[in-house]
Chain A
Amino acid sequence: MEEKKTAWERLKLVHTKGRPTIRDYIPLIFNDFYEMHGDRFYGDDKAVIGGIAMLDGTPVTVIAQVKGRDIDENKACNFAMPLPEGYRKALRLAKQAEKFHRPVICFIDTPGAYAGVAAEERGQGEAIARNIAEFMTLRTPIISIVLGEGGSGGALALGVCDELAMLENAQYSVISPRGFASILWKDAEREEEACNIMKITAEDMVSLGVAESIIEEPLGGAHNDLDKISENIKEYLLCKIPEKCEKDIDVLLKERYTKFRKIGEFTE
């Protein structure tokens, strides 16, 4: 790994035009991806894609938040900010995976769940809560990977898993640094300062017990070598998926619960 970057420098990297998105990764990591559409209740949210794919010889369910690579793609996928139906599609596909004993791989890349009238009317809070609760007891292995931005509850809705990996420059946070500065200091311009104190880097996630692994990015960032970063992600999955699949499911579920259960710092 290269010289350590600040959280702010990493945030800039994650926002670099040309940072690979899930659409770049899928063909390089998986074979035969069959995309599935819709939540069976309301619609098909383009900010979340999901489907069945082959990871070498293993059928897996892939669920991912979709960033656009240009303005048109971004408009189509609502800048990776899912609506409730996106989360409900994710849950539907996760349940499908459970039924057919396929491991689930979630790719997180969102600034947060969409904040709008439609989202509120259709129960954004309920949709996220439901996913968190259901993923906690889903009887199949779940691996989540933060590709770029892991923003708030909108990220956590795909983040309840047996193991969480962060790409080296990816971030995971309770709110965007800008939102943090504007709410706590009433000054959005202090975004950089907020970013550097919030503890949102991959290393922070490992030291706080939120993530287990860091996937190394090519020199200068993921956009510099798409083949290499895809290879690294695939290698990670090929190591972790069999490991989780071999475990007794009840043991796995107990460990999943404990992983989240022990996060928190208090005295009594």
Chain B
Amino acid sequence: MFDDFFNVVKLRFNGGDEDEVPTFKCPRCQSPVPMSRYEELHRVCPNCNYHGRLPARERIAITADKESFREFDADMISCDPIDFPDYTEKQKELRQKTGLNDAVVTGIANIRGITTVIGVMDPNYMMGSMGSVVGEKIARAFEYATENGLPVVLFTASGGARMQEGIVSLMQMAKTSGAVKLHSDNGGLYITVLTDPTTGGVTASFASLGDIIIAEPKILIGFAGRRVIESTMKQRLPEDFQLAEFMQEKGFVDMIVERKRMRATLAHLLELHGYKGKEV
């Protein structure tokens, strides 16, 4: 059946050159999906339920009430703390290419009328790696939420620390975790939504500190990379290793929620913690 589908699509979409329809090839089931259909499903494969990587703006659009999002620190850009060769130029190029200023977008929005501080990491920007800007924006978002008695919802997606910023990137783990801790000690609710992939220094800091930790299905969650582990252990790892379901089995994920139910789930959870709409 798979093959049939594959062929149909191939015939239909790869037939001509001029009116070729842009196609998404699912990395899990390999089936091609017309890009328009894939985008309409918010980047979920209709065939195997693969939850693809969602750009930050698209995530905000499907999470927040229409027109309710107000961005924080939109113009913040990174410097070059260890004078890493070409880092500044690379950043400039990436900003143009992605339309993002760094790997996280933060702000305030309503989710079904409930005022919430939200942050969304974007793996399209240097694999969502955490440097000075990600650290600062996340810390500020939590501080704002603490001051205003607001909940925080963070969508994580990151390869870890941004090595091009050296030790400064490592320190962002302390900066963000500290801000999370103060928000928590102040009684604030923090919901983490782990999305593909959440690894390294982000897993070892704010991503693991949510009061409630949600994950999208089958996404990658881990501290060390699979290849690193395979090379130290000198063995192949099972397919499901470090997937959301595996991490839930091991006790590190509260619930696995599909993208189409995410907004409703978040709204309910916020509501049952007593949060409401608020003039801020």
Chain A residues in the interface with B (C-beta under 8 A):
113, 115-117, 119-126, 128-130, 132-134, 136-137, 152-153, 156-157, 159-160, 172-175, 180, 183-184, 197-200, 204-205, 208, 210, 257, 260-261, 263-268
Say whether A198 contacts B82, CB under 8 Å.
yes
Main secondary structure of the interface of B (DSSP, over half): helix
Residues of chain A within 8 A (CB-CB) of B204 are 113, 124-125, 128-129, 132, 153, 157
Q: Is B269 an interface residue (CB 8 A)?
A: no
Query: What is the minimal beta-carbon distance from A218 to any residue of chain B, in angstroms?
Result: 26
Say whether B161 contacts A174, CB under 8 Å.
yes
Say whether A122 contacts B173, CB under 8 Å.
no
The docked-state distance in angstroms from the alpha carbon of A257 to that of B205 is 15
The docked-state distance in angstroms from the alpha carbon of A153 to that of B136 is 18
Say whether B228 contacts A115, CB under 8 Å.
yes
Residues of chain A within 8 A (CB-CB) of B241 are 117, 120
Q: How many pairs, one residue from A and one from B, have CB atoms within 8 Å of each other in the complex?
A: 183
Say whether A267 contacts B223, CB under 8 Å.
no
- A197-B82, A265-B81 in contact; A205/B167 too (CB < 8 A)? yes
Choice from A113, A134, A153, A267 contacting B77 with Cβ under 8 Å: A267
Chain B residues in the interface with A (C-beta under 8 A):
73, 75-85, 131-133, 135-136, 139, 161, 163-175, 177-182, 184-185, 200-201, 203-209, 222-225, 228-229, 232-233, 237, 241-242, 250-252
The docked-state distance in angstroms from the alpha carbon of A210 to that of B82 is 13
- A129-B207, A132-B205, A260-B175 in contact; A268/B77 too (CB < 8 A)? yes
Say whether B250 contacts A210, CB under 8 Å.
no
Choice from A136, A152, A268 contacting B178 with Cβ under 8 Å: A136
Residues of chain A within 8 A (CB-CB) of B166 are 173-174, 198-200, 208
Residues of chain B within 8 A (CB-CB) of A263 are 168, 171-172, 174-175
Residues of chain B within 8 A (CB-CB) of A180 are 163
Jot down 12 A-B pairs with beta carbons below 8 A, ordered by A.
A117-B237, A126-B208, A128-B223, A133-B181, A136-B181, A156-B174, A174-B161, A174-B165, A198-B166, A204-B167, A261-B139, A264-B133
Say whether B163 contacts A264, CB under 8 Å.
no
The docked-state distance in angstroms from the alpha carbon of A204 to that of B207 is 29
Say whether A260 contacts B178, CB under 8 Å.
yes
Q: Which residue of B lies closest to A123 (CB)?
A: B252
Choice from A121, A257, A266 contacting B182 with Cβ under 8 Å: A257
Query: What is the minimal beta-carbon distance from B53 to any residue of chain A, in angstroms?
Result: 20
The docked-state distance in angstroms from the alpha carbon of A134 to that of B205 is 11
Say whether A132 contacts B177, CB under 8 Å.
yes
Say whether B163 contacts A174, CB under 8 Å.
yes
Residues of chain A within 8 A (CB-CB) of B172 are 263-264
Given A129-B205, A152-B161, A174-B169, 14 additional A-B pairs, CB 8 A: A119-B223, A124-B223, A124-B224, A126-B203, A129-B207, A132-B173, A137-B185, A159-B174, A174-B201, A175-B161, A197-B84, A204-B167, A257-B178, A266-B132
Q: Which residue of A lies closest to B161 (CB)?
A: A174
Say whether A117 contacts B233, CB under 8 Å.
yes
- A128-B223, A129-B207, A205-B167 in contact; A136/B174 too (CB < 8 A)? yes
Q: Which residue of B lies closest to A185 (CB)?
A: B85
Say whether B223 contacts A210, CB under 8 Å.
no
Residues of chain A within 8 A (CB-CB) of B75 are 268
Most buried by B among A122, A204, A266: A266
Say whether B233 contacts A129, CB under 8 Å.
no
Residues of chain B within 8 A (CB-CB) of A121 are 250
Say whether B167 contacts A199, CB under 8 Å.
yes
The docked-state distance in angstroms from the alpha carbon of A200 to that of B164 is 13
The docked-state distance in angstroms from the alpha carbon of A263 to that of B80 is 13
